[in-house]
Amino acid sequence: MPQNIAVIPGDGIGPEVVAEGLKALKATVGADAFDFTHYDLGAERWQRTGEVLPDSVLAELARADALILGAVGAAPGSKAIPSGLLERGLLLKLRFAFDHYVNLRPSTLYPGITTPLSDAVVARGPIDFVVVREGTEGLYCGVGGSMQTGTPFEVANEVSVNTARGVERVIRDAFERAMRRRKKVTLVHKHNVLVNAGGLWNRIFGAVAEEYPDVTTDYLHVDATMIMLVQDPQRFDVIVTDNLFGDIVTDLAAAVTGGIGLAASANINPTGEFPSMFEPVHGSAPDIAGQGIADPTATISSMALLLDHLGRRDDAARIDAAVDADIAARGSEKRSTSEVGDAIAARVSA
Ligand X SMILES: CC(C)[C@H](C(=O)O)[C@@H](O)C(=O)O
CB-CB contact of 219 with 185 (8 Å): no
Active-site positions read: 140, 190, 223, 247, 251
Binding window for its own copies (CB under 8 A); candidates: 12-20, 93-101, 188-196, 325-333: 188-196
Instruction: Print burial letters for 222-240: b (CB count within 10 Å at least 16), e (below 16).
Output: beebeebbeeebbbbbbbb
Q: What span, in angstroms and rounded, lies between the C-alpha atoms of 300 and 323? A: 8
* 271 binding ligand X? (CB under 6 A): no
* 195 binding ligand X? (CB under 6 A): no
Residue 15: CB minimum distance to its own copies, A: 20
CB-CB contact of 243 with 189 (8 Å): no
Binding window for ligand X (CB under 6 A); candidates: 86-94, 155-163, 201-209, 256-264: 86-94
Geometric angle at alpha carbon 162, from 156 and 163, rounded to 5°: 145
The correct pick among 147, 159, 164, 193 for binding ligand X (CB under 6 A) is 193
* 240 binding its own copies? (CB under 8 A): no
The correct pick among 50, 152, 311, 331 for binding its own copies (CB under 8 A) is 152
The correct pick among 170, 174, 178, 222 for binding its own copies (CB under 8 A) is 222
Helix H or strand E segment including 219: strand 216-221
Q: Which residue is nearest to ligand X (CB)?
A: 87
| Secondary structure letter of residue 260 according to DSSP | G
Would strands 238-241 and 128-134 be described as parallel, antiparallel, or unpaired?
A: parallel
CB-CB contact of 222 with 189 (8 Å): yes
Q: Hey, which residues between 247 and 266 contact its own copies (CB under 8 A)?
A: 247-248, 250-252, 254-256, 259-260
Residue 231: CB minimum distance to ligand X, A: 17
Residue 263: CB minimum distance to its own copies, A: 10
Q: What span, in angstroms and rounded, lies between the C-alpha atoms of 209 and 174? A: 10
Report what 162 binds from its own copies, ligand X, none; CB cut-off 5-8 Å by kind. Answer: its own copies
- Residue whose C-alpha is closest to residue 22's, from 324, 300, 211: 300
Residue 14: CB minimum distance to ligand X, A: 11
CA–centroid distance for 192 within its chain: 27
Q: What span, in angstroms and rounded, lies between the C-alpha atoms of 217 and 171? A: 12
Q: Hey, which residues between 273 and 292 contact ligand X (CB under 6 A)?
A: 281, 283
Report what 165 binds from its own copies, ligand X, none; CB cut-off 5-8 Å by kind. Answer: its own copies
Residues that bind ligand X (CB under 6 A): 73, 87, 91-92, 192-193, 223, 247, 281, 283
